[in-house]
Each structure stands twice: as structure tokens, then as C-alpha cells.
Structure 1
Amino acid sequence: MTILVVTGTGTEIGKTVVTAALAAAARGRSVAVLKPAQTGLLPGEHGDVAEVARLAGEVTAVELARFPDPLAPATAARRAGLAPLRPQEVADAAQKLATEHDLVLVEGAGGLLVRFDDDGGTLADAAQLLGAPVLVVTPATLGTLNATALTAEALRARRLECAGVVIGSWPAEPGLDARCNLVDLPEAAGAPLAGAVPEGAGLLEPAVFRDRAPGWLAPHIGGTWAAAPDVPRLSGNPPRSPEYGGPSGA
């Protein structure tokens, strides 16, 4: 794939760190990271694309619009008195980057249907214009199955390909809910579990992050992660839980 759209089932669930892991795993390929709308930051402050570049190394980092209020892009643009971002602008920028790079990662804001503009334009619309697959980032804990199923249903309704589901922050001590969700998430998504990034991965030294990132992602998105029972931790892989087939919380 040349362009991959990264969305989430909500906010603060690890989309930026997953995007950085995807970029880091694309070794030997030129990578561009596109953030259509950055909200909640003032000009000059460290944003998501800057964080991806810090963790992943040499990438082309592009941010199309920035709005100071930590709100949905359409609302934040309206409050700031600034022009909103349109899905066509996102698609045009991604397509241009794709002519110059081997891989373009488009990281959304919040979930798939968060509004970019007052006409209802969303990241899903941009993905449709691009004909690009969408990777869904989700938490490991309670509530994730419903949110993942709803996101997957929205993708299917728009005939968009789901490239899989990645757990954005696998707990250091996973509980029963997280372990069971390893089995249930692919069914909820109707797509494969495509990886799990360990809790705290964004705090690793960049060189360590880049070295470990492929082990958090499935081969079809550039990694070496083999199967759900082998969910990684910062200090190695946990043993399998014979009762639930996932990693043990012990």
C-alpha cells in the first residue's frame, strides 16, 4: 500500500505512537506522515507529526491545519475564526506526498467520523477520495468492542477496506478484559488483529523505539508480530494464558 489512513475509536488511545511505529517499521522506504488537523495546540508547540518524527526518525512531517482549542476540527476552526479543513484538501495533500514517497501515513483526529468542516466532511470522506485502506487503533480494555464494531460498520457502509485493528496501548499487567479482547477484537472489527503497542512505548528512547517497533505490528503492515498470544511488553513477551489464549496478567 502507498497510502494508509490511521484512525481511532476515540481520543488519547495511541494513534500517534502507532503511526510512529508504522513509520519506524518501514525501514528502507521513504515515509511521509500527514496530520490533516491538529487541535489543542498553539503555533510552534510540539504536535503529533513532530512526535512521530522524533520517535520514528527520518520522515517527511506535514500538518495541514492547526486550531488552538482541543475540540473536533470543525468546532475548533469555527471558534478560532479560521477556514475549516476539507476532505478534498486532505486527499490532494496525501496524493502529492505519495508521488514523492513510498509510504504515506495519514493520521486522523479522534475517530473516523469526527467532523472536519460544517458540511460534515470527515476522515472517512478523505479515505474514500483516496481509495486508501484504514487502520483502526483501539484500546485493550472495556468498551473497546462496541467502539471498534461501530467504526468497522462505518467503514463497511462506505466500502472502505479495514487494514486491521491495532491495540494502541497494551497494559503492562493486562486484566481479564484485555486478555479476552485479544480474541474478540477481530470478530468485532471483521478484520485481523494487526498488532499491539506496549503501554509506555512513546517514552522509550527513539533508537530503542525504532528497533522494537516492527515486533509490535503484523507483517501485512510492515512488522514481524506473529500472533495475538505474543502481545509484546517493554521487557519482553508475557507467557500465554492457557485459560483465555492470551497473555497472562501474572
Structure 2
Amino acid sequence: MTVLVVTGTGTEVGKTVTTAAVAAAALAAGRSVAVLKPSQTGVVPGERGDVDEVAHLVSGGVTTLELARYPDPLAPATAALRAGLPPVRPHEVAEAAEKLAAEHDLVLVEGAGGLLVRFDADGGTLADAARTLGAPVLVVAAAGLGTLNTTALTTEALRARGLTPLGVVVGSWPKEPDLAARCNVTDLPEVSGAPLLGAIPERAGALLSGTFRESAPSWLARELNGTWDGRAFAAGVAGTL
């Protein structure tokens, strides 16, 4: 796996922190890593974007690339139109990822919002970029009520496009999970048809960068260069039901 596309089931599910954790675990495994953000929205020139946050959390050591940024916190296609700037097209995302892959062991492509958020007026999406690349897709999901539906819809959309969902990571696992979150640990793999590959503790993004980088492998499964034991995690959660 040279290129991994990271998508969320929606906004604010912990996608950027999860991307940083995957990058940190890969670095700890001795792999060179690049992080690509096709379209950064909701930031102005000079303001820190998602790739900057990833670089901060992993204490540097990663190559970062942002193809475009737009000031309005909207879907990339709409934000580009409002800003009077050219959109980023799926083939441009794929080309940038392939160039990075020629010089890195792992390239993480972090989308904006969910899988089918539009990049351009032609309806191009992150899914189209992933299909061009032939890359697997990691789905970042919320922990609580409602996540089963959005996760199932995302993985169903992936498979309908001939794409492979590598697995699901809970982007923000609460310190005190409610009943829905605890049940979802068992239900997420079933409804998505994809393994649960990690759980990022809530507020992990507020950790000092050294602590974050050192801790990240313990939040992710072996498939993501981590040491997280999904069975043990599920058993522990089941014991509180």
C-alpha cells in the first residue's frame, strides 16, 4: 500500500487527527510519509491548514502538500466558485499523489468532509481520485448515535464504485462512552463490512506533539503500522454493557 485515501463519514469526525496518527505510526515503523490535502477550505492565506496540523502533531518528518485553499468553510466546489479560483480536479489529485508516491513509502490523501463532497462543477469527488489511483480508502467515523448509518452509506458508496474500504477508525473515542458508542464497537464492522482498525482518544489532537507521535501506534491496528488490539478493545467495551 503506497497511497491511502482517508475520508470521513462527514465533517468534524476526527479525520485530520486520524491522518496524523496514521502518519505517526508509519514513521515509527521506519516508513517515509507524505500527506496530501487536495482542497483546504475555511482558511485564509497564512492560516494553518490540515496538513500543517498533521506536521505539528507528528513533530515534522513528513512531506506535506496542499493543492488549493479557499476561504469559505464550504464544499470545495462551492468554495472555489465563490472565491473565483479554479477548482482541484480528481485527476490532479491523482497526479500529485503519484508524484509523491515515487519518493515516499506512504502517501496519505486526506479529503474534505465526506466521500462524495464535490471538488468541481462536474461533480468530481475524492472517490474519483481514489478510483484513478486504485487506492484503498480508510473511513473515519464518529463514535456515537447515527454513525452506523453514515458509515454504512460510505462503505456502500465505495463498493458501488469498485473501491475497497480498508477499514474504519473511530476518529474520537470518548473517555466515557455512552451506550450507543459502546454498542457501535461491535456493530460498525458488521454494518460496514470492513474491520475496525483503531480508535483515536478524544482530544488526542491537543496532546503535545512528542506525546502524540509516541502514542499514535497504540491507537491503530497492525494494518496501519500500529499495535492496537481490536479484539481486546471490543472485549473491554463489551464488559461495560
Are residues 1:114 and 2:114 paired?
A: no
Are residues 1:196 and 2:199 paired?
A: yes
Are residues 1:31 and 2:33 paired?
A: yes
Question: Which residue of 2 is the match for residue 14 of structure 1?
Answer: 14
Unaligned 5+ residue runs, structure 1? 232-238
> Number of residue pairs matched?
238
Question: Paired residue for 1:45, among 41, 44, 47?
Answer: 47
1:62 is paired with a residue of what secondary structure?
A: strand
2:236 is paired with a residue of what secondary structure?
A: coil
- Equivalence map 1:222-237=2 (5 Å): 222-230=225-233
1:240, distance to aligned residue in structure 2 (A): 2.3
Question: Paired residue for 1:159, among 155, 158, 162?
Answer: 162
- Name the CA distance, whole Å, in 2 between partners of 1:198 and 1:42: 29
**Partner AA of 1:20 in structure 2:** A
Question: Which residue of 2 is the match for residue 170 of structure 1?
Answer: 173
**Partner AA of 2:20 in structure 1:** A
1:29 is paired with a residue of what secondary structure?
A: coil
Q: Decide whether the 8 Å contact of 1:182 with 1:228 is kept in 2.
A: no
Question: Which residue of 2 is the match for residue 103 of structure 1?
Answer: 106
Question: Which residue of 2 is the match for residue 130 of structure 1?
Answer: 133
Q: What TM-score, normalized by structure 1, do the two folds share?
A: 0.93
Q: Higher RCO, 1 or 2 (CA under 8 Å, sep at least 6)?
A: 2
- Name the CA distance, whole Å, in 1 between partners of 2:143 and 2:222: 21
1:188, distance to aligned residue in structure 2 (A): 1.3
Question: Which residue of 1 is the match for residue 145 of structure 2?
Answer: 142
1:18, distance to aligned residue in structure 2 (A): 0.3
Question: Which residue of 1 is the match for residue 224 of structure 2?
Answer: 221
1:240 is paired with a residue of what secondary structure?
A: helix
Cα 1:35/1:138, change in 2 over 3 Å: same
- Name the CA distance, whole Å, in 2 between partners of 1:170 and 1:46: 25
Q: What TM-score, normalized by structure 2, do the two folds share?
A: 0.96
Question: Which residue of 2 is the match for residue 79 of structure 1?
Answer: 82
**Partner AA of 2:5 in structure 1:** V
Moved over 6 A (4+): none
Are residues 1:212 and 2:215 paired?
A: yes
- Name the CA distance, whole Å, in 2 between partners of 1:221 and 1:159: 22
- Name the CA distance, whole Å, in 1 between partners of 2:166 and 2:149: 18
Query: Which deviates the most, 133-142 or 220-229?
Result: 220-229
1:221, distance to aligned residue in structure 2 (A): 1.3
- Name the CA distance, whole Å, in 2 between partners of 1:172 and 1:182: 14
**Partner AA of 1:122 in structure 2:** T
- Name the CA distance, whole Å, in 2 between partners of 1:166 and 1:10: 13
Unaligned 5+ residue runs, structure 2? none
Question: Paired residue for 1:62, among 65, 71, 81?
Answer: 65
- Name the CA distance, whole Å, in 2 between partners of 1:29 and 1:76: 34
- Name the CA distance, whole Å, in 2 between partners of 1:64 and 1:109: 12
Q: Deviations over 1:46-102 (max 9, x none)?
A: 100000000113100100000000000000000001111100000000000000101
1:228, distance to aligned residue in structure 2 (A): 4.5
